[in-house]
Amino acid sequence: MSTTDSRPTLPSPRGSLSERILQALRTDPGGLVTDAAAVALAEPEDAALTLWVLQELSYRGFQDVPETAEWEPPVLAVRRHLQVDLEARLRSRWPGHQVPESDFAEALLQFIQDDDGPSVASYVHTHATEEQVLELLRWRSIYHLKEADPSTWTLPRLTRGPKAALAELQYDEYGAGRPDRLHAHLFAEAMAALGLSTRPGAYLDECPLEVLEMNNAMSLFGLDGRLRGASMGHLAAFEVTSSVPSGHLVRGLRRLGLAEEIVEYYAEHVIADSVHDQLATRLICAVLAEDEPEQAEDIFFGAFTCLDQEARCARTLLGRWGVAA
Ligand SMILES: [Fe+2]
Ligand SMILES: [Fe+2]
């Protein structure tokens, strides 16, 4: 292991499945024996942690796993079982939605804005303690330290219009050509200013099932081209519901006198995401639904999944803090 390697090492296992898979990844990924029954019987947290690790191999990977592990057939077989299982669970939660016959963007926007899930950001604005905010940031760091990466997987799967619009949105997320302005980097700088680790996945061991599943769903939608509609619907819900909560966070962080870097990170999103939500709903999702009508319902499914998982995470976190949600 190199001391300059900024990648994380493998997290702690959470059960017999992750114990066995993590051990194989470290030592002999190609020699892993796929046991479909063990995968099917794994406890939810054990399965979610295993899938998070396996999907992470398609991002920057781990210091203690050989890079060849990503494409080893037995590793892919376990990942496939877990992805099928996750998709089935997400679809079982989806109540369905009538695909609009006209003005797709407006209908999608309305669907997202009608969501009335609990808001951690409103609580941070007025009540949260510094300790609670740091816990929130540690949980959010699993995504924000690789912010925008899951949607990038969808880019080559799109038709011309949505592809151009997603590239525009991602250009902004990736700093518009400036390495010091990548949103993931701005978040890392804020973590450092708060005395927290900037290593991706550093706080994974303390993240509950809901956080693992939220990250796994984003990766699943991005990595599986068949789910491009869900990936873009998820992105739209994420962007539409970002600007106002980011404003609440800015005011809450200022109230607590936390480092200016984290205030700036959220202040940047108040402005950027008020543009990104238009790009995502009108120029990505609506045009995608026009170009590929069979993806239209999955766009709503992806948006629903984003909102549903945000609500699950919010309820878990507020529950830990003793706040009724
Ligand atoms: Fe961003
Ligand atoms: Fe954004």
The 3-class secondary structure across the chain, one letter per residue, is: CCCCCCCCCCCCCCCHHHHHHHHHHHHCHHHCCCCHHHHHHCCHHHHHHHHHHHHHCCCCCCCCCCHHHHHCHHHHHHHHHHHHHHHHHHHHHCCCCCCCCCCHHHHHHHHHHCCCCCCHHHHHHHCCCHHHHHHHHHHHHHHHCCCCHHHHCCHHHCCHHHHHHHHHHHHHHCCCCCHHHCHHHHHHHHHHHCCCCCCCCCCHHHCCHHHHHHHHHHHHHHHCHHHHHHHHHHHHHHHHCCHHHHHHHHHHHHHHCCCHHHHHHHHHHHHHHHHHHHHHHHHHHHHHHHHCHHHHHHHHHHHHHHHHHHHHHHHHHHHHCCCCC
**What is the predicted pLDDT for the residue at 116?**
92
- Show which of 93, 124, 143 is a domain's final residue: 93
Q: How far apart are CA 38 and CA 17, in angstroms?
A: 7
The predicted pLDDT at position 273 comes to 87
Per-residue pLDDT of the chain (325 residues; tens, 9 = 90+): 556 788 999 999 999 999 999 999 999 999 998 788 889 999 999 999 999 999 999 999 999 999 999 999 999 999 999 999 999 999 999 999 999 999 999 999 999 999 999 999 999 999 999 999 999 999 999 999 999 999 999 999 999 999 999 999 999 999 999 999 999 999 999 999 999 999 999 999 999 999 999 999 999 999 999 999 999 999 999 999 999 999 999 999 999 999 999 999 999 999 988 899 999 999 999 999 999 999 999 999 999 999 999 999 999 999 999 998 7
Instruction: Indicate which ligand has the atom closest to the C-alpha of 187.
Output: 1
Q: Are residues 128 and 53 in the same domain?
A: no
Say how many Å lie between the CA of residue 172 and the centre of ligand 1. 8
- Considering the domain architecture, whether residues 88 and 147 belong to the same structural domain is answered as no
Widest pairwise Cα distance in the chain: 56
124, 256: one domain:
yes
3 alpha carbon – ligand 2 mean position (Å)? 32
Question: Relative to the alpha carbon of 266, which ligand is closest?
Answer: 1
Ligand 1 (ion): residues with CB under 5 Å are: 173, 183
For residue 273, the ligand closest to its alpha carbon is 2
Q: Is residue 4 part of a domain?
A: no
Residues 258 and 115 in one domain: yes
Alpha carbon of 42 to ligand 1 centroid (Å): 34
Distance from the alpha carbon of residue 169 to the mean position of ligand 2, in angstroms: 7
What is the CA(291)–ligand 1 centre distance, in A?
27
User: Which ligand is closest in space to the CA of residue 280?
Assistant: 2
Query: How far, in Å, CA of 282 to CA of 232, rounded?
Result: 11
Considering the domain architecture, whether residues 273 and 145 belong to the same structural domain is answered as: yes
Do 178 and 57 reside in the same domain of the chain? no
Q: Is residue 98 part of a domain?
A: no
* Whole-angstrom distance, CA of residue 104 vs CA of residue 289: 8
Ligand 2 midpoint to CA 175 (Å): 11
Nearest ligand atom owner, CA of 235: 2
In a domain, 5, yes or no: no
Q: Both 233 and 282 in a single domain?
A: yes
Tell me how far the alpha carbon of residue 48 lies from the centroid of ligand 1, in angstroms: 25
Centre of ligand 2 from the C-alpha of residue 44, in Å: 30
- Domain encompassing residue 42: 16-93
Number of structural domains the chain divides into: 2
CB-facing half-sphere around the CA of 206: CA atoms within 13 A: 12
CA of 94 to the centre of ligand 2 (A): 25
| Orientation angle between helical segments 228-240 and 260-278, nearest 10 degrees | 120
Sign, CA dihedral 85-82-211-154, equals negative
Q: Give the pLDDT of residue 199.
A: 92
Which ligand is in closest contact with the Cα of 240?
A: 2
CA–centroid distance, residue 77 to ligand 2 (Å): 33
pTM for the full model? 0.96
Nearest ligand to the CA of 275 is: 2
Rounded CA-CA distance 187/272 in Å is 15
pLDDT at position 34 is: 77
The candidate with the shortest Cα–Cα distance to 56, out of 16, 7, 4, is: 7
117 CA distance to ligand 1 centroid (A)?
A: 21
Residue 3 is predicted with a pLDDT of: 64
Which ligand places an atom closest to the C-alpha of 182? 1
